[in-house]
Structure 1
Amino acid sequence: MKVKRWSALGVRISELARQAGTTPRALRYYEEQGLLRPARLASGYRHYEPQAVGTVRHIQLLLSAGLNTTAIAEILPCIPDDVTVLAPTCPELLDALAVERNRITTSIDRLAAARAVLDRLIQAGSGARDQP
C-alpha cells in the first residue's frame, strides 16, 4: 500500500479524506461551513496541513455528538490541535456546551417518550392479533 507523506505544501483533499476516514465531499462541506481552511495553490488545488487530520476528527466527533456546524465553528478554536485531547481551552465555551448538552437531553427525552408510545401500540396490537 502506497502511503503519501506530508510535503511542505501538505496533502491534497483526497489524501486528507483517506487519512481522516471521510470523503472529499465532506471536506468541501467543512470548508464551506468555515471549519477547514486549506491553502490554495496557483492550480486551484486545495492543500491541507498535517494538523488538518486532527481537526477533521474533532469535527466528526462533534457532529456525532449532535452539534451543528455553527456551534462547531465556535468550539474548534478552543480545542488543542492534539487529536488525542478533546478538552476546551476557552472557559466561556463551557456554558455553550452545557446549553447544547441540555438540547440533546431534551431530544433524547422526546425520543424516549415516542418510543414508549410505539411500544404500547405494538403491545396492544400484538394482543389483538392473537384473538380470533
Structure 2
Amino acid sequence: MRALRYYEEQGLLASARSGSGQRLYADTAVNRVRLIQQLYGAGLSSKTIAELLPCVDAKVSTPESRERLLVERDRINAQIAELILARDRLNDIIDATSKPNPTCDYV
C-alpha cells in the first residue's frame, strides 16, 4: 500500500475515494503498477517515468520522449551485456573449480 501512495504522490497512479475515504483504483491499475515497477526496476527515476507515462497512455511519442526511451533502452542493453559477461566469468570459474579440493576451506 505504501508503494501505491508513493506512486500517487509522484503522479504515476490515480485513484478515486469511496464515501469512507478508501482509495479505489480502476481495473487497469494493476497493469499500470506492473509497468511502473518494471520501469523502476530498469533504473528509471520517478521523474522520468512521470514524463514518459502520458506518451505511453496515449500510445504516441514525441521526438524527445522517443529519444529518452532509446537512451534508456541502450543503457539497459549495456547493463545486460555486463551481466552476461559476469555470468560467463562465473560459469568459467565454476567449470574450472568443479573438482573438489580438500585444501579449499570456503564454505
Query: Would the aligned equivalents of 1:40 and 1:47 in 2 still touch at CA under 8 Å?
Result: yes
Query: Would the aligned equivalents of 1:75 and 1:88 in 2 still touch at CA under 8 Å?
Result: no
**How far does residue 74 in structure 1 lie from its aligned partner after superposition?**
1.1
Secondary structure of the residue aligned to 1:126 is: coil
Q: 1:97 is matched by which residue type in structure 2?
A: L
TM superposition score normalised by structure 2: 0.69
Q: 1:60 is matched by which residue type in structure 2?
A: R
Distance of 1:32 and 1:59 partners within structure 2: 14
Distance of 2:12 and 2:49 partners within structure 1: 8
Q: 1:27 is matched by which residue type in structure 2?
A: L
Secondary structure of the residue aligned to 2:78 is: helix
**How far does residue 62 in structure 1 lie from its aligned partner after superposition?**
5.0
Query: Would the aligned equivalents of 1:34 and 1:73 in 2 still touch at CA under 8 Å?
Result: yes
Unpaired stretches in structure 1, ≥5 consecutive residues? 1-23, 82-86
Q: Which moved more, 1:115-124 or 1:29-38?
A: 29-38
1:35 matches 2:12:
yes
- The C-alpha deviation readout for 1:53-94, integer Å capped at 9, x for no partner, is 33541441353252533322111111236xxxxx33433210
1:118 matches 2:93:
no
- In terms of fraction of residues, the more helix-rich structure is 2
Query: Would the aligned equivalents of 2:12 and 2:50 in 1 still touch at CA under 8 Å?
Result: yes
TM superposition score normalised by structure 1: 0.58
Distance of 2:80 and 2:48 partners within structure 1: 19
Secondary structure of the residue aligned to 2:60 is: coil
Query: Would the aligned equivalents of 2:13 and 2:32 in 1 still touch at CA under 8 Å?
Result: no
**How far does residue 31 in structure 1 lie from its aligned partner after superposition?**
1.3
| Number of positions where the alignment pairs a residue of Structure 1 with one of Structure 2 | 99
Distance of 2:10 and 2:57 partners within structure 1: 20
Secondary structure of the residue aligned to 2:98 is: helix
Report 1:83-98 matches (<5 A): 87-98=59-70
| Counterpart position of 2:52 | 75
Distance of 2:43 and 2:54 partners within structure 1: 15
1:64 matches 2:41:
no
